[in-house]
Amino acid sequence: MESLRYLYKIGPGPSSSHTIGPKRISEVFLNEFHNAYSYKVDLFGSLALTGKGHLTDYIIEKTFKNRRLKINFIYEFKEEHPNTMDLYAYDKDGNVIGYRRAFSIGGGDFSFSHLDNNEQRKKIYPHQSMDKIIKYLKDNKISLSDYVYYYDSDIKEYLHIILDKMFDSIERGLKSSGKLPGTLNLERVASKIYHHALEVDDESERDKLLISAYAYAVNEENACAGEIVTAPTCGSSGVVPSLLYHFYKKFKTPKVKLVDALAVAGIIGNLVKRNATISGAEGGCQAEVGTACSMASSMVSYLFNLDIDKIEYAAEVAMEHHLGLTCDPVKGYVQIPCIERNAVAALRAYDAALFAKHIGNYRKNRVSFDQVIETMAATGKDLSYHYKETSLGGLAKHVKDK
């Protein structure tokens, strides 16, 4: 598996595969063919179908700055990947002087068809499954965060930056008001939920509302193309930060411990990325919000000081109950169901950690985390493309304007 740097990325919302990925692909292409007279970008499949709502054309135009550029939305799917982009560079006479086919593979990551995966990214973690990692931790009597710092040796400083960026996005979101972009006409409500929560007497209800407010804050920032951290994607960027912020505010958990928790969550996200997918276009929302929920529940379990078996238990429970979850953003905006879904997943992640802490004492989970990832990957393949970031099915089809 790769460094956690390639999982947690800082960038503009609203969709890592539709904004951060295409932005980075465009940057690499421009770097390679910077002297061209003009350019063309063809967006295929999911990039075309939800590209407008996900601001794909906006971010590509912004990256190409004032260069001559034409963008085409082509609704057919290419066999290699549902998020395919073809980029062309032309000379003054209209001759093609550069061409690349690229894939935005989820979480802002990308690959080029002319490079194989080994050329594209260094693998630094030697274990590719949770079972093998757990065995290694037990054999060597180390924690999961120690494992990360051993193999991803300079990651700690980067995770501190990531934590601060996550908190920035919450604090910006809690201070903002007004309408979200697009035609859904949705108000930003994170600040309202937050202030309402502070008035609620019941501590448990208040905590749930606060966690929800933090998740809404990040995802409303994301919907406004604000800067967020992929965890593991833009669409699912509110789940992990909301719980970290909750521990920071309520329990005064020090940042060094929260960074360790981010490392733990990162391994869970990396395993899903390596063995299944974190892309809504490939696996539906189970791959995005389901993964975020697994990451967050492992992180909360770590903050509860649970052992590695219970961390695995929590991560598995969190994914198991997202299996089959479809991606169906209404009108292609990463707003409905996405914003609320992050808040629901944050609460579910907390509950999954509570299950691990308490119910885990009576019975070990029968389904392993590796098995649930395998199941998620297979379920994602079976899902119709209507439910994989195309806005052709589900809520996107059935929710009509009032």
Residues 6+ apart with CB under 8 A from 274: 1, 128
Q: Which is nearer to ligand SF4, 238 or 360 (CB)?
A: 238
To ligand SF4, the closest distance from the beta carbon of 48 in angstroms equals: 15
| Strands (DSSP E) found in 80-214 | 84-90, 96-106, 109-112
Q: Which is nearer to ligand SF4, 182 or 337 (CB)?
A: 337
**Secondary structure class of 96 (helix, strand, coil):** strand
CA atoms of 24 and 190, how far apart (whole Å): 30
To ligand SF4, the closest distance from the beta carbon of 294 in angstroms equals: 14
Q: Which is nearer to ligand SF4, 13 or 360 (CB)?
A: 13
Phi, psi of 38 (to 5 degrees): -150, 170
144-151 and 130-140 are packed helices; what angle lies between their axes, rounded to 10 degrees? 100
To ligand SF4, the closest distance from the beta carbon of 147 in angstroms equals: 29
Q: Which residues bind ligand SF4 (CB under 6 A)?
A: 235-236, 280, 285, 288-289, 327, 329, 334, 337-338, 341, 389
Cβ neighbours of 122 (radius 10 Å) = 9
To ligand SF4, the closest distance from the beta carbon of 96 in angstroms equals: 33
Q: Integer distance in angstroms from the first to the last C-alpha of the chain?
A: 47
To ligand SF4, the closest distance from the beta carbon of 280 in angstroms equals: 3
In the chain, the amino acid numbered 166 is M
Q: Which is nearer to ligand SF4, 109 or 389 (CB)?
A: 389
To ligand SF4, the closest distance from the beta carbon of 380 in angstroms equals: 11
Residue with the CB atom nearest ligand SF4 in the bound state: 235
* Residue 285 near residue 327 (C-beta atoms within 8 A): yes
Q: Which is nearer to ligand SF4, 159 or 334 (CB)?
A: 334
Beta bridge partners of 74: 44
Q: Which is nearer to ligand SF4, 197 or 318 (CB)?
A: 318
To ligand SF4, the closest distance from the beta carbon of 303 in angstroms equals: 24
Q: Which is nearer to ligand SF4, 233 or 301 (CB)?
A: 233
CA angle 349, 353, 356 (to 5 degrees): 140
DSSP calls for 47-86? HHHTTTTTTHHHHHHHHHTTSEEEEEEE-SPPSS-SSEEE
* Residue 339 near residue 15 (C-beta atoms within 8 A): no
To ligand SF4, the closest distance from the beta carbon of 387 in angstroms equals: 9
Q: Which is nearer to ligand SF4, 45 or 235 (CB)?
A: 235
* Residue 173 near residue 190 (C-beta atoms within 8 A): yes
DSSP-derived secondary structure letter, 39: E
CA atoms of 325 and 290, how far apart (whole Å): 8
